[in-house]
Structure 1
Amino acid sequence: MNKHIVFAICGCLFFVNAFSQTKNVAELLNEIEQNNTELKGYQAFIESQQLENKSTNNLPDPQLSGYYMPFGDNLTGDYTEYEISQSFEFPTVYASRNKWNESKSQQLASAYSAKRQDVLLRAKGIFIELASLQKQKEIITERRTQSKQVFDQIQELFDKEQVGILDLNKAKIAWIQEQFVVQQIDSDIQVQLIKLKTLNGGIPIDGVSSQLILPIEIGTVENLWQKKLTSDPALQELKANEAASFQKIKLEKNKVLPNLALGYNYQGVSGSNYSGFYGGVSIPLWSSKNKVKAAEANYEYQQSNTQVITTSVYAQFQETYYQYELMLEKFNEYQTTMGNLDSEQLLFKAYQLGEYSFMVYYLELQFYRNASDKMLQMEKELQLLQAQLLKHQL
């Protein structure tokens, strides 16, 4: 039986045979992306921010003012005056602010992509966990069957007074423990399905593919890092922050130019009136003070922040990659050592032939079962590490 267990775990390092044959993981991740309430909410937030950013580039409201002066000596008649005007910033300011708004939209898009990636990585981790649990369930179910066979045999020997009550009790406890493990795994599977349902906007996940194949070879650390630099949303967001702060410098420099106003003016008294065009200039001597310097300082900060965070992410990426390589090496050693063994079946035959007492058989069995469980746990951890390394592909 051990041979079958090992082959079930190791036949393909990253072959997950845990689900029904309807949808693959990519389709399920796309479904979660469409239904996830966190992502939907963030999309609405992005839309509101983009509209708010556009509103900052609107013209000021037109102004209408008037005077009617009937009091006083009125030697020349009542005096009437009204004026309508439209003020606006220097035209180049609007073009510069529009580019700044575009760069801020890119910031929002990068932030959404990073959040989307985090959600999908969580979902993929749950798929991996579910696959591992399903494998465990298959193995433990077979172990439970074997434990029942052993218990039935010992019960028969006990009835014949060939073994004592202690061996019978031990065999029964071993069988009960295997039953409990199966129940616990069923419970864990339901917990993971609830997590998936939550990520899927409250909609139950069904039709999961029977196969999740993750390649063993994932490339060198440098090649992976170069791909991550060009496609990882979190790193792209840093570049977007730099671009937005650079556009802010250009905007503040343009805002040093004078504001303008145009309008129409009417003045009338005792049948005589004057009318004509109104023009004005507002020189921003004080309102723009230190703003260009502040924008330049913020740009320097964004550049430094990009470098610091990128260096930190690269160090973490290297650590994860080397951890993955080390675990893969250990897993291959386990696979080579246990691949041709049939230890559990041999132990069971030895027990049936009376070569081992139940206690010796059980202790020896636990040793090989622990090794098989360790191999299954390592497989899951390898998949989770690989998902983290390939996060930028989501």
Structure 2
Amino acid sequence: MNKYIVFAICGCLFFVTGFSQTKNIEELLNEIEQNNTELKGYQSYIESQQLEHKSTNNLPDPQLSGFYLPFGDNATGNYTEYQISQSFEFPSVYAARGKWNDSKSQLLESGYEKRRQEVLLNAKELLIELSFFQKQKAIETQRRTQSKQVFEQIQELFNKEQVGILDLNKAKIAWIQEQFVVQQIDSDIQILMSKLKTLNGGNPIDGISSQLVLSFEIRTMENLWQGKLSNEPRLQELKAIEAASIQKVKLEKNKVLPNLALGYNYQGFSGNNNSGFYGGISIPLWNSKNKVKAAEANYEYQQSNTEVITTSLYAQFQEIYNRYELMLEKYNEYQFAMGNLNSEQLLLKAYMLGEYSFMDYYVELQFYRNASDKMLKMERELQLLQAQLLKHQL
């Protein structure tokens, strides 16, 4: 029951405070899709491959041949012969090859879609990481301020000889550590921004929200899987490979039919000649041997391969979904336990009032900070797992 209450609260927060931010993420992903250099290059590659496929269905070049025989007794004059002809495969072969080319074009499109979603998933994961570090920086900046405040107070007490050098050194080290943590986070943020810039075709990304609010509620495992079956690029690519292989079978069956040739022929001597139409047909004895069987065997393999990969993908999906459900349950427990206790502020206030020694304050502070950091990391992990589960929606 508590789980559904948390889902409802998260959903409300998502629509009330996070809708514009979610839309902002979609805009950023659209921008990356438009500017990504790899995707632009892939589109050019697809166009070149499609044109190359079409070229395989062209007619052979027409042939022109001739004979002029002036040597010999030439009793009846010089002999002349020329012929122009056009050879071509059986008409149904061109139709079958055209469908095969269409299926290969669909396979290229599936490959592009798979790569597009991989790029966008990478970008979304970087945005999630960036949001995590920005939240962490805000927390650590506040902690740095508190550490400085504590150090300054202990410095005053040390000057008054009310505390020893050990407490002063511990407070100073705690403050230095917090400064280093903030600097490290700044470095991590710059690295992520550089990676996002690279994905965006070298263009800097502006307007990144510092607060990424996503609803943790997702559909049931079976509903999600049905959506993946319809939209998952890897599965769509497998279907496209199957479609191309069955079209290859149909093409090879049509290529068993004979090739044809038509043309015009002229033969003659001066004042005595003959001309007329030329026709030819090939006898398909050797060239097509075993090709139909090979295409059929390949189609059977592709069917089996699709089944194996689909089963493997479902197992991976199930594992990620179960991890997500387990982590979500633990995250909700953390969130319920932590609530809005504002423990660090209360501890600092108690320390300032002299209710805690520095060591007692520091030990208690680390306990609550570790719990807070754990919850923030769980939130990041939940968002990363959710991004994988919803990859097919990108």
More moved, 96-105 vs 337-346 = 337-346
The 8 Å contact of residues 121 and 387 in structure 2, kept in 1 or not, is answered as yes
Match of 1:98 in 2: 98
- Corresponding residue SS for 1:58: coil
Asked if the contact 1:267–1:273 (Cα under 8 Å) also holds between the matched residues in 2, the reply is yes
- Distance apart, 1:261 and its partner CA: 0.3
Residues 22, 214 of structure 2: 8 Å contact kept: no
Give 1:212-291 correspondences, 5 Å limit: 212-291=212-291
Secondary structure in 1 aligned to 2:176?
helix
SS in 2 for 1:61: coil
**In 2: Cα distance, 1:208 partner to 1:178 partner:** 25
User: How do 1:47-66 residues align onto structure 2 when only pairs under 5 Å count?
Assistant: 47-66=47-66
SS in 2 for 1:158: helix
Residue in structure 2 matched with residue 172 of structure 1 by the alignment: 172
Q: Is the 8 A contact 1:197 1:205 kept in 2?
A: yes
Aligned 8 A contact 1:100 1:248 in 2: yes
The match for 1:148 is 148
- The answer to whether 1:26 aligns with 2:26 is yes
Report the equivalent of 1:332.
332
Counterpart of 2:370 in structure 1 is 370
1:11 Cα deviation after fit:
11
Partner of 1:6: none
Q: 2:349 and 2:14 mapped to 1: Cα distance?
A: 32
In 2: Cα distance, 1:213 partner to 1:94 partner = 55
The 1:259/1:301 distance shift into structure 2, 3 A limit, reads same
Provide the residue aligned with 2:306 in structure 1: 306
Alignment partners' CA distance in 2, 1:99 and 1:12:
50
SS in 1 for 2:163: coil
Which whole-Å CA distance do the structure 1 matches of 2:92 and 2:37 have between them? 41
Verify the 8 A CA contact 2:21 2:213 in the aligned structure 1. Answer: no
Contact residue 258 and residue 281 of structure 1 kept, 8 A: yes
Gaps of 5+ in 2: 1-9
Does the 8 Å CA contact 1:252/1:292 hold for their aligned counterparts?
yes
Q: Point out where structure 1 has 5 or more consecutive residues left out of the alignment.
A: 1-9
Correspondence for 1:75? 75
CA shift, 1:333, in A, is: 0.6
Judging changes above 3 Å, is the alpha-carbon distance between structure 1 residues 348 and 120 closer, same or farther for their aligned structure 2 residues? same
Deviation at 1:23, TM superposition (A): 7.0
Residue identity over aligned pairs, in percent, reads 81
Instruction: Return the alpha-carbon distance in structure 1 between the equivalents of residues 164 and 189 of structure 2.
Output: 39
Deviation digits for residues 192-235 of structure 1 (CA, Å, limit 9, x no counterpart):
00000010111111122465442221111000000110111110
Change (3 A) 1:23 1:217: closer
1:3 aligns to what? none
Instruction: State how far apart, in whole Å, the 1-side matches of 2:28 and 2:226 are.
Output: 28
Whichever residue aligns with residue 171 of structure 1, its letter is A
Deviations along 1:169-192, whole A, 9 cap, x unmatched?
Answer: 111111111111111111100000
**Letter paired with 1:345:** Q
In structure 1, distance between residues paired with 2:209 and 2:367: 34
Judge which range, 366-375 or 203-212, deviates more: 203-212
The answer to whether the 8 A contact 2:135-2:210 is kept is: no
CA deviation after TM superposition for structure 1 residue 87, in Å: 0.2
- Indicate conservation of the 8 Å contact 1:43/1:112, yes or no: yes
- Decide whether the 8 Å contact of 2:11 with 2:215 is kept in 1: no
Q: Per-residue deviation at 1:340?
A: 4.0
Tell me, in whole angstroms, the C-alpha distance in 1 between the residues paired with 2:321 and 2:21.
32
Q: Is the 8 A contact 1:23 1:208 kept in 2?
A: no
Residue in 2 aligned with 1:139?
139
Q: TM-score, normalised by structure 2?
A: 0.94
Indicate conservation of the 8 Å contact 1:14/1:212, yes or no.
Answer: no
Mapped to 2, the partners of 1:23 and 1:315 lie a distance apart of: 32
Q: CA deviation at 1:341?
A: 2.3
Q: Relative contact order (C-alpha < 8 Å, sep 6+): which is higher? A: 1
TM-score (norm 1): 0.94
Matched, 1:88 2:88: yes
Instruction: Judge conservation of contact 2:131–2:211 (CA < 8 Å) in 1.
Output: no
1:13: Cα distance to partner? 8.3
CA-to-partner distance for each residue in 1:256-297, whole Å, 9 max, x for gaps? 001000000011213211111100001221110000000000
What is the CA–CA distance in structure 2 between the aligned matches of 1:50 and 1:212, rounded to whole Å? 41
Tell me how far 1:73 sits from its aligned partner. 1.8
Q: CA deviation at 1:352?
A: 1.8
8 A contact 2:134–2:210 mirrored in 1? no
Instruction: Provide runs of 4+ in structure 1 moved above 6 Å.
Output: 10-15, 20-23
Shift of 1:72: 1.5
- Give the secondary-structure state (helix, strand or coil) at the position aligned to 1:235: helix
Amino acid at match of 2:271: G
- Asked if 2 retains the 8 angstrom alpha-carbon contact of 1:126 and 1:196, the reply is yes
Q: Deviations over 1:326-373 (max 9, x none)?
A: 000000010111114232223222222323221221121111101100
Alpha carbons of structure 1 residues 50 and 240: separation in structure 2 relative to 1, 3 Å: same
Match of 1:356 in 2: 356
What's the offset of the Cα at 1:93? 0.5
Q: Please report the RMSD computed on the Cα atoms of aligned residues, expressed in angstroms.
A: 1.9
Matched residue type, 1:318: Q
Quote the Cα distance in structure 2 between the aligned partners of 1:187 and 1:52: 47
CA distance in 1, matches of 2:209, 2:260: 65
Residue 202 of structure 2 aligns to a residue whose secondary structure is coil
Aligned-partner Cα distance in 2 for 1:110–1:23:
26
**2:4 — aligned with what?**
none
Contact 2:266 2:273 survives alignment (8 Å): yes
- Determine if contact 1:242/1:299 at 8 Å carries over to the other structure: yes
